Structure formats: structure tokens, C-alpha cells
């Protein structure tokens, strides 16, 4: 066992941070951004880009699908907001464009995808529920991606139905969210039922047993936690009040590879 101290800043870092109209992104992401597809100007955080590419490889996806928008700086998000306001008005803009500082695109963990065709709408690209796009959608959770703004969840997410917007949250969180019909907002409440050290949420990925649990941030000097260091583990802040801990119990023959982070 070893003891880790998680700082209060770490609450606002990691693959699972919730960024929406009430939870602002505190730190601008600039490091570890890489192009998503070959010769693409669309950037994502390194691990999200690697898993997106391996999913696309599996379905030969980059032949038919194009990245429309990945990481955005604060000023780019401001520009998109201003342009949309001018062109489409307030109601449309509030439905489909996040207020600067509150866009998932600023995390480098979100991507808008479009079916490759002559005309592509930048704000509402076409990504239908059939063909290659649906094939992508069905496989996305196994690679750590969720369709972030599904139909019917507009009241919870605060964003209109966006079939084209995918968010990297990592494995196994994307599967847990999808299998339980959750969105990232409700997952944050769901996982609080599984407090670290008591009762984890247990699931299986690639023959590894995974324990997921919530750890509340405590104290001004950080949160101390005892970790079984014989296990692979990852910790992400939730950008609200604590951390989500993921522990992987794998056999030697079954290393989770890329999916572990």
C-alpha cells in the first residue's frame, strides 16, 4: 500500500471532468494536444486521439467520416459564439453553442464528427443514426467515447440534441454511462453511491476486473488516500467536489494497453 495526496487543483483535471453551464473549465488545456487524423488540423488530448484513431482504424472510418472541431481555445469559442449570435440569433446559439469557458471543446476531450460530403455545417454537422456513423456510435463506448448530448437529456445537459458531438471519458466510464442510460451529469451523481473504501462499482473490460469509486475532496491540504500499488489505477477529478478512482485488476497475460490511463 502507498499513500497519495491529491491536491485540490487535481479536482479540476482528468478525463472525467464535468464542463457545462454550471461547471466552468478552470485550466486552459494546451499541453499534450495532437492532431486527430492524418493531416487534420483538429486537435485532441493525446490519449483521446489515440483511441479515436484505433476505433476509426477498426471500421476504416476516416474514409467516410471527417473531424469538424476538436480542441478550441477560449478565444475560438468566443468567436464561434459571437458569429453564431450574429447569424442564428440567441435562441439557436444558446441551444447549440456553449458559453466561452463552459465548452467541452476547451478540454481537448470532445470532438464533432461529420459524414464526409460536399457541404458540412460547422455548428450542426450531419452524423446520422445509420451506416458508418451508427457503426462508430455503437463501438464508441468500448474506446472511451460517449455521445454527449443525447435526445431526451436536454434538460439535464443544458444542450440541444447533438448527434455529432462525442466526448472522451475513458474506459470503463463510457460503457457504464451508456449501459445505464446516463449522461455525464447523472453519472457524477450515480458514482457517488460507490464511495472509495466502501463499495466500488465493479465491471469487466478485456478480462480485467475494474473497480470504480468516488472519493470526496477533503481539507485544504489535499485529500490523502491509501492505494494498493500492486494494481493499475487512474484518478480523475470531477470538476465539482472530488475524484473518480478506477482500479484495474488484470492478469499478466491481459494488459489493458491503450485503454488504461
Binding site for Zn ion (CB under 5 A): 112, 165
- The residue (of 112 and 247) whose beta carbon lies closer to Zn ion is 112
Least Å from the CB of residue 174 to Zn ion: 16
Residue nearest to Zn ion (CB): 165
C-alpha cell at 49: 486521439
Element (H, E) at 227: strand 223-227
Residue of 162, 179, 185, 253 marked catalytic: 162
Among the listed residues 142, 223, 127, 221, the one whose alpha carbon sits nearest the alpha carbon of residue 175: 142
Contacts of 87 (CB under 8 A, 6+ apart): none
- The residue (of 143 and 166) whose beta carbon lies closer to Zn ion is 166
Least Å from the CB of residue 255 to Zn ion: 33
- The burial of 63, by beta-carbon neighbours within 10 Å (0-12 exposed, 13-18 middle, 19 or more buried), is given as exposed
104 catalytic per annotation: no
Distance of CA 162 to the CA centre of its chain: 15
Residue 74 vs residues 71, 78, 103, 140, 260: alpha-carbon distances, Å: 10, 6, 9, 27, 29
- The residue (of 104 and 247) whose beta carbon lies closer to Zn ion is 104
**Residues 179/26, Cβ–Cβ less than 8 Å:** no
- Which residue intervals of the chain are DSSP H helices? 46-59, 74-96, 131-139, 154-157, 173-179, 184-190
Give me the count of residues in the chain. 261
- The residue (of 184 and 235) whose beta carbon lies closer to Zn ion is 184
Least Å from the CB of residue 138 to Zn ion: 20
- The residue (of 112 and 147) whose beta carbon lies closer to Zn ion is 112
Whether residue 172 is preceded by a cis peptide bond, meaning omega within 30 degrees of 0, is: yes
Contacts of 148 (CB under 8 A, 6+ apart): 104, 110, 157, 159, 162, 165, 166, 167, 183, 184
- The residue (of 19 and 191) whose beta carbon lies closer to Zn ion is 19
Residues with a catalytic annotation lie at: 162
Amino acid at each position: 500500500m502507498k499513500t497519495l495526496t491529491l491536491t485540490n487543483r487535481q479536482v479540476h483535471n482528468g478525463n472525467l471532468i464535468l464542463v457545462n453551464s454550471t461547471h466552468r473549465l478552470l485550466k486552459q488545456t494546451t499541453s499534450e494536444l495532437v492532431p486527430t487524423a492524418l493531416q487534420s488540423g483538429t486537435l485532441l488530448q493525446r490519449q483521446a486521439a489515440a483511441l479515436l484513431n484505433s476505433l476509426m482504424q477498426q471500421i476504416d472510418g476516416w474514409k467516410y467520416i471527417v473531424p469538424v472541431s476538436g480542441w478550441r481555445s477560449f478565444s475560438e469559442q468566443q468567436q464561434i459564439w459571437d458569429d453564431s449570435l450574429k447569424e442564428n440569433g440567441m435562441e439557436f446559439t444558446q441551444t447549440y453553442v456553449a458559453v466561452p469557458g463552459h465548452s467541452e471543446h476547451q478540454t481537448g476531450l470532445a470532438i464533432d464528427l461529420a459524414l464526409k460530403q460536399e457541404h458540412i455545417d460547422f455548428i450542426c454537422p450531419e452524423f446520422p443514426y445509420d451506416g458508418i456513423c451508427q457503426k462508430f456510435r455503437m463501438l464508441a463506448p468500448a474506446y472511451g467515447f460517449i455521445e454527449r448530448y443525447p435526445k431526451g437529456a436536454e434538460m439535464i445537459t443544458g444542450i440541444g440534441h447533438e448527434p455529432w458531438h462525442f466526448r472522451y471519458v475513458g474506459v470503463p466510464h463510457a460503457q457504464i454511462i451508456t449501459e445505464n442510460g446516463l449522461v455525464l451529469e447523472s453519472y457524477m451523481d450515480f458514482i457517488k453511491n460507490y464511495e472509495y473504501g466502501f463499495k466500488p462499482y465493479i465491471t469487466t473490460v478485456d478480462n480485467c476486473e475494474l473497480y470504480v469509486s468516488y472519493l470526496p475532496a477533503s481539507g485544504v491540504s489535499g485529500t490523502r488516500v491509501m492505494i494498493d500499488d500492486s494494481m493499475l489505477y487512474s484518478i480523475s477529478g470531477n470538476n465539482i467536489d472530488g475524484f473518480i478512482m478506477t482500479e484495474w485488476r488484470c492478469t499478466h497475460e491481459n494488459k489493458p494497453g491503450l485503454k488504461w490511463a
